[in-house]
Amino acid sequence: MPLVDMKDMLQHAYRHGYAVGAFEVISLDFLQGIMQAAEQARAPVVLNLVEPHFEHFDFELMMPAVEMAALRAKVPVAIHMDHGTSLESAVNAINRGCNSLMVDSSYLDFTENVRITKTVVDTAHACGVPVEGELGCVPGVEGETADHHADGLAYTSLAEAKAYVTRTGVDFLAISIGTVHGRIKGKPKLDYTRLKQINDALRVPLVIHGGTGLSDDQYHRLISNGVSKINYFTALSDRVSVQIKENAKTRTSSTYCGLMKDISQVIASEVEHCLRMWGAAGRAAEVLAQCDAWKPVEHLIIYNTERLGKADTEIMVAEGRRVLSSIPGVRDVFTGEAVQSDTKYQYTWMVRFCHPAVIDSYRNHPAHVAFADNLFRPVAGNRISIDFQSV
């Protein structure tokens, strides 16, 4: 149940002056460590799945574990796809279980950034999924050395930020005010004046990428000026590397398990430190009380086919599965035939929607309309159709 809408979660943080940590999940050790810390600190947390890192793990294989971690948690959790690159990857992320998205077209010119972001926002909002956009450019690569990327930094312009949020309808804005993704030497110089102006003008939760390497005072000044989510990865990755090297030196066993020993504890201790420093610790109960639980919908149809034999029914069903499962917000399409032959209805579709908003967007989606009008409704007049939510 503690999977919650990230819009509610970040609005709570924004109103109460703290920041939620968004930590990258790159393996089960990271997932376990992050969840352990959030439970210990009684803090809301965001599990980040970073698209450019999908080359390091199988995203589809990872998502059931991420979803299970969120569902069995006692603290509120949002599952966020970070640095999404296209509408296709956004739809794939929603259909695999992400309930929040970032679209990152910040490297494009303003008009193109607005155009791509708006397309993703329209599709995601029709699925009930909130969207983070980015304006300005936070350079560098998570987990790597940042110094050689520092010249790519482009600060967020206040005028553009106002136009971008109005034209795209993003729910959160990632801004560039001096942070860099990755490992930096020394302390970055942050432009608090710019941050304050953007926050005063927009009043939407702001997001900082490149959260590694700031001082306590810098985090506090960011948070007191509207930053409600901080993305953090490089420091976790560095602490894990140190632990693995330590394990290699000190352990008599150099097996995989020996080298990976204590990794999730190391991650948990760093994450917990951040959650406490950013003011998120102890907030879980309030957030749960004030956020809508994220609940899928089961769209159930039971039907009989008329003027269609068994073999042709199977062809129609296979086509429906293919078409319907690619519609945004469709988590799963189950098609079945009754086990008993003497039931009132012989066939079923059970289509799982990620959110109640999908009831309408699915019904009106051109692929659904074409399949339903041309292949399904003409042969399935005798049917019952109901949408259910778990109680």
Q: What residues are labeled active site?
A: 82
Considering only 128, 139, 205, 210, the residue that binds ligand 13P (CB under 6 A) is 210
CB under 8 Å to 191, separation ≥6 — which residues? 155, 177, 178
Task: Show the tokens assigned to 93.
Answer: 């992320």
| 84 belongs to the binding site for ligand 13P (CB under 6 A) | no
Q: Does 219 bind ligand 13P (CB under 6 A)?
A: no
Q: Letter for the amino acid at 350?
A: M
> Is residue 283 close enough to count as binding ligand 13P by CB under 6 A?
no
The continuous run of DSSP H or E covering 103 comes out as strand 100-103
Sole window of 68-76, 226-234, 266-274, 344-352 interacting with ligand 13P (rule: CB under 6 A): 226-234
- The answer to whether 209 contacts ligand 13P (rule: CB under 6 A) is yes
- Using CB under 6 A, which of the segments 158-166, 230-238, 337-345, 363-371 binds ligand 13P? 230-238
Per CB under 6 A, the list member of 105, 212, 243, 313 interacting with ligand 13P is 212
Q: Is residue 228 a contact residue for ligand 13P (CB under 6 A)?
A: no
Considering the complex, what minimum distance in angstroms separates the CB of residue 179 from ligand 13P? 7
Say whether residue 234 binds ligand 13P (CB under 6 A): yes
Q: Is 295 helix (H, G, I), strand (E, B) or coil?
A: coil
Among residues 259, 331, 254, which one has the least CA distance to residue 299? 331
Q: Tokens 């002056």 correspond to what residue? A: 17
**Strand runs labelled E in 233-323:** 297-303
Token readout for 81 is 């796809």
Distance between CA atoms of residues 271 and 218, nearest Å: 17
Residues 6+ apart with CB under 8 A from 323: 367, 368, 370, 371
> Binding to ligand 13P by residue 229, rule CB under 6 A?
no
14 versus 232: smaller Cβ distance to ligand 13P: 232
Instruction: Kindly indicate which of the ranges 108-116, 232-240, 311-319, 346-354 contains the residues binding ligand 13P, using the contact rule CB under 6 A.
Output: 232-240
How do 140-145 and 131-135 pair as beta strands?
Answer: unpaired
Is the Cβ of residue 219 or residue 232 nearer to ligand 13P in the bound state? 232
Residue 149 lies near ligand 13P (rule: CB under 6 A): no
The answer to whether residue 211 forms part of the interface with ligand 13P (CB under 6 A) is yes
Give the list of residues 6+ apart from residue 281 with CB closer than 8 angstroms, or none: 41, 42, 43, 272, 275
For the beta carbon of residue 151, count every other beta carbon within 10 angstroms: 8
Amino acid type, 127: C
Among 18, 30, 219, 233, binds ligand 13P (CB under 6 A): 233
Between 227 and 330, whose beta carbon lies closer to ligand 13P? 227
Shortest spacing between CB 390 and ligand 13P, in angstroms: 32
Please report how close the Cβ of residue 147 comes to ligand 13P at its closest, in angstroms. 12
Judged by CB under 6 A, the residue of 178, 182, 188, 205 near ligand 13P is 182
User: In whole angstroms, how close is the CB of 379 to ligand 13P at the nearest point?
Assistant: 49
CA angle 168–100–193, rounded 5-degree value:
55
Minimal distance, residue 232 CB to ligand 13P, in Å: 5
82 part of the interface to ligand 13P, by CB under 6 A:
yes
Kindly state the smallest distance separating residue 49's Cβ from ligand 13P, in Å: 11
Neighbouring CB atoms inside 10 A of 370's CB total 11
The span from the CA of 372 to the CA of 375, in Å, is: 6
| Residue 142 within binding range of ligand 13P, rule CB under 6 A | yes
Minimal distance, residue 235 CB to ligand 13P, in Å: 6
Under the binding rule (CB under 6 A), the answer on residue 5 touching ligand 13P is: no
Contact 307, 378 (CB under 8 A): no
Minimal distance, residue 139 CB to ligand 13P, in Å? 11
Q: Does 178 bind ligand 13P (CB under 6 A)?
A: no
CA-closest candidate to residue 183, choices 245, 241, 240, 234: 234
Measured from the CB atom, the residue of 8 and 142 that comes closer to ligand 13P is 142
Q: What are phi and psi of 175, to 5 degrees?
A: -120, 160
Spatial contact of 95 and 1, defined as CB atoms under 8 Å apart: no
CB nearer to ligand 13P: give 232 or 371. 232
Interface residues with ligand 13P (CB under 6 A) are 82, 142-143, 181-182, 209-212, 231-234
